[in-house]
Amino acid sequence: MRRRSPAAALAVGVLVVATALAGCESPVPFHPPGEGPADGPVVDLGGAAPYVRTRPPATGAPDPEAPLPSPPPGGGATGGALARPSTSPVRLYVANGPVIDVIDPVAARIVQRIGAGPATARVVPSFDLRRLWATDLAHGTLTPVGPRSGARGRAVAATEPAGLYFTPDGRDALVLAGRARRLDVRDPRTMRPRLSVPLPCAAAHADFTPDGASLLASCAGAGRLLRVDVARRQVTGTIRLPDGARPGDLRLSPDGARFYVADPARGGVWVIAARPTVGPPGFVPTGPGARGLALDRDARRLFVVGDAALTALDLAGGGVAARWPLPRGGSPAPGGLSADGAELWLADAAGMVYAVSTRTGRTLRQVWVGGRPSALLVHPQPGRYSLGGTGLYR
């Protein structure tokens, strides 16, 4: 269910992306990337349709030319709980250096270990939810992995893939190329490069505007947010946050009215308007190290993972609803909620994966994986399709 904040709450602490961008630099041209061919076979994930095949594949790999599912027009707001597209069992996929640890969240144990490359940094579901992409930031690769079979396809070369996203119409994969300061547009099935859009700063996190026409990306080092017009393939403006800001993970609110942007340096969340309104950027302090965001299933709260604490923001009132200490301290990476929304899974860099109650903050389950897990994905999730990132679904 969607809830709209009171009009008064919207007027306080928001900045209009469109208005703030009006005085920005002229459109930035784009050009084909200077990368070689990057085709790589994908593996059969054995999930439910919607996938149309012209012939049964002989090798178990889905046809790369098969059409992607057709989402509804526009990007849409994030909404609340959506119908699950697959009957596949829910698993946790933990990016843990050279392997992906696969965990059964009910039994709370590792059921599989997938070799996915020298230094897997993140696991991202494909737009159609039928495969996973393991990103290796250090070695510059994207590797397709079957979530059910664990089969791995050939790695695709990608310059410093700091973030992987998919346009709401499913036509493009968008790779934020970190310090290369560009957005690489690729084929969402094969990851073959199409073209590149130069960026004025190094972006790593993003989400889409309510209509799906633009991408809002954050540059931590520059303290700025970028708006990229997806269809026109150009940067249409920037938002400079106050000195000392280091914007990171961001989320569009369930009603599509605002963006929430985590800032570990300032210790809180910036509130940015997604539609034309006049006002300064809002800021809600949540505690040191605010690095990760996750929306509650009922679309009423936003969970902010920080240093040794988990904060729940009330999306209607705009304030802090609860703050709980994390049992293992540190600053874990958020992975996602359970299907019923009762558990939030976190990955501790010290080698522990654990779930906390979204009602009380109490630890409910934990699994020792060892190594240094850097990211966690709960898959599949309720949703029609994936926009990539750290669990963006519509």
**3-state DSSP of the chain:** CCCCCCHHHHHCCCCEHHHHHCCCCCCCCCECCCCCCCCCCCCCCCCCCCCCCCCCCCCCCCCCCCCCCCCCCCCCCCCCCCCCCCCCCCEEEEEEEEEEEEEECCCCEEEEEEEEEEEECEEEECCCCCCEEEEECCCCEEEEECCCCCCECCCEECCCCCEEEECCCCCCEEEECHHHCEEEEECCCCCCEEEEEECCCCCCEEEECCCCCEEEEEECCCCEEEEEECCCCEEEEEEECCCCCCCCCEEECCCCCEEEEEECCCCEEEEEECCCCCCCCEEEECCCCCCEEEECCCCCEEEEEECCEEEEEECCCCCEEEEEECCCCCCCEEEEECCCCCEEEEEECCCEEEEEECCCCCEEEEEECCCCCCEEEEECCCCCCEEECCCEEC
Render pLDDT for 345-357 as a digit per residue (tens, 0 to 9): 999 999 999 999 9
Residue 63 scores a pLDDT above 70: no
Render pLDDT for 224-281 as a digit per residue (tens, 0 to 9): 999 999 999 999 989 999 999 999 999 999 999 999 999 999 999 999 998 755 567 8
Name the pTM for this structure: 0.80
Render pLDDT for 68-85 as a digit per residue (tens, 0 to 9): 444 444 444 554 444 444
Q: What is the mean pLDDT of the chain?
A: 81
Per-residue model confidence (pLDDT) at position 278: 52
Render pLDDT for 304-329 as a digit per residue (tens, 0 to 9): 999 999 999 999 988 999 999 998 77
Please report the domains of the chain, with CATH numbers, ordered by start residue. Answer: 7-47+77-88+121-320 (2.130.10.10)
